[in-house]
A and B are shown apart, each in its own frame.
Chain A
Amino acid sequence: MDIIKSATAGTMESSDAYVEIEPGNGKNEISVESVVWMQFGEKIRTAVEEVLNELEVENAKVRVVDRGALECVIRARVETAVLRGKGEK
């Protein structure tokens, strides 16, 4: 799936995550900031990678600012950002 424009999903509220996506420079680049980095940092990164793989996104910059969201929330926010970035309504 091609990301053709920048898009966002989610909020900065506690227990939510804010996701920004934009077209990449040839591959996926993921950055994660999290209030629970020490406890869940790796799990969050893996979840983001998995969602991108499932949606066949191969060339995007993704920035996740996690405010302590459950994994299902992070996955949903990333998926929404991807679908918005590919131009779907």
Chain B
Amino acid sequence: MNKLVTTIKEAVELSGLKNGMTVSFHHHLRNGDYVLNMVMEEIARLGIKDLTVNASSLFDVHLPLIEHIKNGVVTNVSADYISGGLGRHFSCGVMENPVSFRTHGGRPSDIISGKTPIDVAFIAAPSCDPMGNCSGKYGKSACGSLGYAMVDAMHAKKVVVITDNLVKYPLADWSISETNVDYVVSVEEIGDPKGIVSGTTKITRDPVGLVMASMAAKTIEASGLLKDGFSFQTGAGGASLAAAKFLKEIMLEKNIRGSFGLGGITGYMVDMLNAGCFEKLLDVQCFDLSAVESIKNNPNHMEISAQHYASPTAKSAVVDSLDVVILGATEIDTDFNVNVHTDSNGYIMGGSGGHSDTAAGAKLSMIIAPMFRARLPIITDRVNCISTPGKDIDVLVTQGGIAVNPKNSELKERLVLSGLPVISIEELKEKTERITGKPEKIKKGDRVVAEVVGRNGEILDEIYSVC
């Protein structure tokens, strides 16, 4: 049996891809990914039209996609996150059909249930053998975990693996097994290592960020959750990482041994694992070199699929066992609804990713954000887009005080008893507007350019055109 084909074109032809079908991609190569562009270029050359692209995330490196949309090759896009350069085109209405945003847990759930079936999945693999056993841990384009690609590989009708490091059979330490793979293509490069992983993700040095981070760590300490067995996820933003650093200090000082760290994993989480703050790391995506090295060498640093990470329809997912998550926000409203999809002018510049999933699962979901950014207050009467519903958010930490969602009165009492600066979200909003002035509301366009599908399948919000 031979699965090895010489070109992407041949693989696309053999896969039986036709007009109107769905192709899928994963984003572990992040802004260094070459695979989506290479594949879409071949598909366009073959004259195939009217495709749905279902990608776990899209980055600015994928700008050529916009041409394929203009040419009718792609007519639907589904993603969990779209970065700002690309998002601007969607906000300006480049595509007739609205983008369908899902969460990192909702996406695998809908693929598995058949709600959003995939015809052909294209897997970018930093190492693969000729039968399709593949891994992200080895090779010049190593990215670590292949968590988001696992579900695509298991449930797509056809699976094509594209690699730049073809190794002898068998690649024993596989993340995706040959049992799911139809074709393997070897190419020169699947990505630019500089865009795949950052050298080091840096902690903020901004004094405001450090004040917030310190308050965030103290809030976790005061919550009563910080004890042996503690589990934790944090984002890769500067202030979130600084919070992890402060938390690590508290955990070491009090000799607290946590159970696991979760998420997109950075070097800071690896440091916490190595320092004994956690027994395991559960990793759906590696953010930096240190995380890639760790997942390769440390058996306590485990790779998990997107389904296992966050699916709401799995019998259980790791987010269901999560104690604390620290998350960001572009805006939060007085009902604690959070926007991470659009910027303050309404342009698409992000997406939920695992935001809503971890917020729903964690016992304490914390937003960390400055009172204002470039004069724009973070707290509004109503966010421009609901990415994560307020019912799933427990607390907002800013440099001007800590606002607890009234639904969590126990947390509020604990924070007050610990002497932390608790303030109502309405007061915090007024306090901010005394500094910034009250902003005028932005005008929305008249077309819906994206819909935000909540993790349980409900339409949470619609995003309107800007241009």
A-B contact count (CB 8 A): 36
Interface of B is mostly: loop
Closest residue on chain B to residue A41 by CB atoms: B440
Shortest beta-carbon distance, A51 to chain B, in Å? 16
Compute how far the CA of A36 lies from the CA of B372 in the bound complex, rounded to whole angstroms: 12
With most chain A CB atoms within 10 A of its CB, the pick from B345, B375, B442 is B375
**Interface residue? B15 (CB, 8 A):** no
Compute how far the CA of A4 lies from the CA of B336 in the bound complex, rounded to whole angstroms: 53
**Interface residue? B437 (CB, 8 A):** yes
Q: Known contacts being A67-B374, A68-B376, A70-B375, is A38 close to B345, with CB within 8 Å? A: yes
B443, A36: Cβ atoms closer than 8 Å? no
How many residues in B have their beta carbons less than 8 Å from beta carbons of A?
13
B437, A43: Cβ atoms closer than 8 Å? yes
**Interface residue? B116 (CB, 8 A):** no
B436, A70: Cβ atoms closer than 8 Å? yes
B374, A40: Cβ atoms closer than 8 Å? no
Shortest beta-carbon distance, B129 to chain A, in Å? 48
Q: Please report which residues of chain B, range 419-467, place their CB below 8 angstroms from some CB of chain A when the two chains form the complex.
A: 435-437, 439-440, 442-443
Compute how far the CA of A38 lies from the CA of B435 in the bound complex, rounded to whole angstroms: 18
Closest residue on chain B to residue A74 by CB atoms: B375
Compute how far the CA of A39 lies from the CA of B378 in the bound complex, rounded to whole angstroms: 13
A35, B374: Cβ atoms closer than 8 Å? yes
**Interface residue? A15 (CB, 8 A):** yes
**Interface residue? B373 (CB, 8 A):** yes
Compute how far the CA of A68 lies from the CA of B435 in the bound complex, rounded to whole angstroms: 13
B345, A40: Cβ atoms closer than 8 Å? no
Compute how far the CA of A41 lies from the CA of B375 in the bound complex, rounded to whole angstroms: 12
B440, A42: Cβ atoms closer than 8 Å? yes
Shortest beta-carbon distance, A85 to chain B, in Å? 25
Shortest beta-carbon distance, B206 to chain A, in Å? 11
Compute how far the CA of A69 lies from the CA of B375 in the bound complex, rounded to whole angstroms: 6
Q: Which B residues lie within 8 Å of A69 (CB)?
A: 375
A40, B437: Cβ atoms closer than 8 Å? yes
Q: Which A residues lie within 8 Å of B439 (CB)?
A: 36, 39-40
Q: Known contacts being A36-B344, A38-B345, is A68 close to B375, with CB within 8 Å? A: yes
**Interface residue? A2 (CB, 8 A):** no
Partner pick for A40 among B373, B435, B440, B443, CB 8 A cutoff: B440
Shortest beta-carbon distance, B439 to chain A, in Å? 3
Compute how far the CA of A67 lies from the CA of B376 in the bound complex, rounded to whole angstroms: 11
Partner pick for B442 among A38, A43, A67, CB 8 A cutoff: A38
Q: Please report which residues of chain A, range 21-44, place their CB below 8 angstroms from some CB of chain B when the two chains form the complex.
A: 35-36, 38-43
Q: Known contacts being A70-B435, A70-B436, A71-B437, is A40 close to B375, with CB within 8 Å? A: yes
Compute how far the CA of A70 lies from the CA of B442 in the bound complex, rounded to whole angstroms: 19
Chain A residues touching B, range: 10 to 19
Q: Please report which residues of chain A, range 42-79, place their CB below 8 angstroms from some CB of chain B when the two chains form the complex.
A: 42-43, 67-71
Q: Please report which residues of chain B, range 364-406, place their CB below 8 angstroms from some CB of chain A when the two chains form the complex.
A: 373-376
Closest residue on chain B to residue A70 by CB atoms: B375
Q: Which B residues lie within 8 Å of A40 (CB)?
A: 375, 437, 439-440
B345, A15: Cβ atoms closer than 8 Å? no
Closest residue on chain A to residue B377 by CB atoms: A39
Shortest beta-carbon distance, A42 to chain B, in Å? 7
Shortest beta-carbon distance, B239 to chain A, in Å? 16
Q: Which B residues lie within 8 Å of A71 (CB)?
A: 437
A36, B435: Cβ atoms closer than 8 Å? no
Q: Which A residues lie within 8 Å of B437 (CB)?
A: 40, 43, 71
Q: Which A residues lie within 8 Å of B375 (CB)?
A: 15, 36, 39-40, 68-70
Q: Which B residues lie within 8 Å of A38 (CB)?
A: 345, 440, 442-443
A14, B374: Cβ atoms closer than 8 Å? yes
Closest residue on chain A to residue B437 by CB atoms: A43
Q: Which B residues lie within 8 Å of A15 (CB)?
A: 374-375
Q: Which B residues lie within 8 Å of A43 (CB)?
A: 437
User: What 0/1 readout, one digit per residue, does chain B (177-190) give for beta carbons within 8 Å of chain A?
Assistant: 00000000000000
Closest residue on chain B to residue A42 by CB atoms: B440
A68, B440: Cβ atoms closer than 8 Å? no
Shortest beta-carbon distance, A61 to chain B, in Å? 24
Closest residue on chain A to residue B440 by CB atoms: A39
Compute how far the CA of A14 lies from the CA of B370 in the bound complex, rounded to whole angstroms: 14
Compute how far the CA of A69 lies from the CA of B439 in the bound complex, rounded to whole angstroms: 13
Compute how far the CA of A39 lies from the CA of B433 in the bound complex, rounded to whole angstroms: 12
Q: Which B residues lie within 8 Å of A67 (CB)?
A: 374
User: What 0/1 readout, one digit per residue, does chain B (63-83) give for beta carbons within 8 Å of chain A?
Assistant: 000000000000000000000
Compute how far the CA of A71 lies from the CA of B433 in the bound complex, rounded to whole angstroms: 12
A36-B344, A68-B376 given; name 11 further pairs at CB < 8 Å. Answer: A36-B374, A36-B376, A36-B439, A38-B442, A39-B440, A39-B442, A40-B437, A40-B440, A68-B374, A68-B375, A71-B437
A–B Cβ pairs within 8 angstroms, 19 of them: A15-B374, A15-B375, A35-B374, A36-B376, A38-B345, A38-B443, A39-B439, A39-B440, A39-B442, A40-B375, A40-B437, A40-B439, A40-B440, A43-B437, A67-B374, A68-B375, A68-B376, A69-B375, A70-B435
Top-3 shortest CB links A-B: A68-B374, A39-B439, A68-B375
